[in-house]
Structure 1
Amino acid sequence: MSSDSLALFRKSLGNELGALAEQHYQHDLQSSDREALQKAASRVSMHTTIGSVVGLSLGLFLSFRLRKNRTTMFNAFRTSEKPVAVQFAGGRTEPLPDLTPMLKPSTLGDIATYTLFGLGGLFVGGETGLLTGGLSAQSAIKKDPEAKKRIEAAFRKFRAETLRLEADQLEKGERGLGM
């Protein structure tokens, strides 16, 4: 699992694309556009961080509640009166095994619960934060129509150059086809 799997840790495009993006960032945009993009990026980062923290907290809280309920159910099962044998119509009696030790909550189960719920909450919260941050950043950029047009034009130039670079790499055989 790569660190890019979690929204909280996604930061860059890679060295080549990062340098190309920085070049377009410096040459194709005005300083007000760069400030708007930086504010938008900080919004996305803030939403993602908050979403990840909230998701992790919620996941750990739910795993705590689940563990408490499992323990309560086990204690209720342990103290309840259970049959010890079954008598068939023919008169034969078969003893029933005691399942209480098999139903006891284990440390390994607790670790698995906390881990899965914690990571699940981190993933869901981070992705939700990334989504809300992206929407918030998009609305912030859309406030100034002229800046939006300049940013879109710079992005189109960057994207076209990225595609040219990728096509050159494919023709030279430097990059796999992903198959």
Structure 2
Amino acid sequence: MPDSLAAFRGTTRQELAYLGREHLKHNLQQSDRDTLNSAASKLATHTAVGSVVGIGLGIWLGLRVRRMRMNIFNTFKVMERPTHVQFASGRLEPVPDLSPLLRPTILSDMVMFTLFAAGGLFMGGETGLITGVYSARRTIGKDPESKERIQRAFEKLRAEMLRRQADALDGGQSVSEKAAEIF
């Protein structure tokens, strides 16, 4: 059960982080590691700034919507409303006053601000992620030789990760041991 949620898979994440650090040490030059660190910091900065700007824009939009809702409510509150409806037969029916039900409340404002801020966080964070990836890609792509070394190191890391995952699925048995079991 604990491995079903990504947040609880600490050992796998730690193993992969250790494996990545080892590959960075052995397969890349110092300038390549500096380039990767610079690209990673650009990505993190773009994502953080995008998230903060998105939250700010969400709250600002929430304030505008709240002001508009209050203006509409006040406009309808001031207007003269009918109190009775007269039918063709001459019967009079009272019309209930719905203005207390239409008034914006603190709870509705809290829900609205939460939703607008969450939407702004999502939109801003994703936009920041896209611009950060573009910026990081440009940083890595400046030097073609360094880019080639980084790609080779990433391919080696990926192959090593896949080997470890395959070993974990096989239960740690080698191919010859599995063949001996079958035959």
Fold shared per TM-score above 0.5? yes
Distance 1:94 1:172 in 2: 79
> 3-state DSSP class of the match of 2:50?
helix
The structure that has the greater radius of gyration is: 2
Q: Which runs of 5+ in 1 are unaligned?
A: 5-12, 174-179
Distance 1:172 1:107 in 2: 57
> 3-state DSSP class of the match of 2:85?
strand
Q: Alignment RMSD, CA only?
A: 1.8
- Structure 2 counterpart of 1:127, one-letter code: E
> 3-state DSSP class of the match of 2:96?
coil
- Is 1:159 aligned with 2:147? no
Cα distance change, pair 92–3 in 1 and its aligned pair in 2 (3 A): farther
- Write the deviation string for residues 138-171 of structure 1: whole angstroms up to 9, x where unpaired: 0111111110110000000111111122222223
- Is 1:117 aligned with 2:116? yes
Percent of aligned pairs sharing the same letter: 52
Q: How does 1:89-108 map to 2 (within 5 A)?
A: 89-108=88-107
Q: Which runs of 5+ in 2 are unaligned?
A: 173-183
- Is 1:88 aligned with 2:87? yes
> 3-state DSSP class of the match of 1:14?
helix
Moved over 3 A (4+): none
Give the alignment's TM-score, normalised by structure 2: 0.85
Shift of 1:3: 10
Give the alignment's TM-score, normalised by structure 1: 0.86
What does residue 15 of structure 2 align with? 16
> 3-state DSSP class of the match of 2:93?
strand
How many matched pairs? 164
Cα distance change, pair 34–14 in 1 and its aligned pair in 2 (3 A): same
What does residue 76 of structure 1 align with? 75
What does residue 53 of structure 1 align with? 52
Cα distance change, pair 3–45 in 1 and its aligned pair in 2 (3 A): farther
Which one has the bigger helix percentage?
A: 2
What does residue 9 of structure 1 align with? none
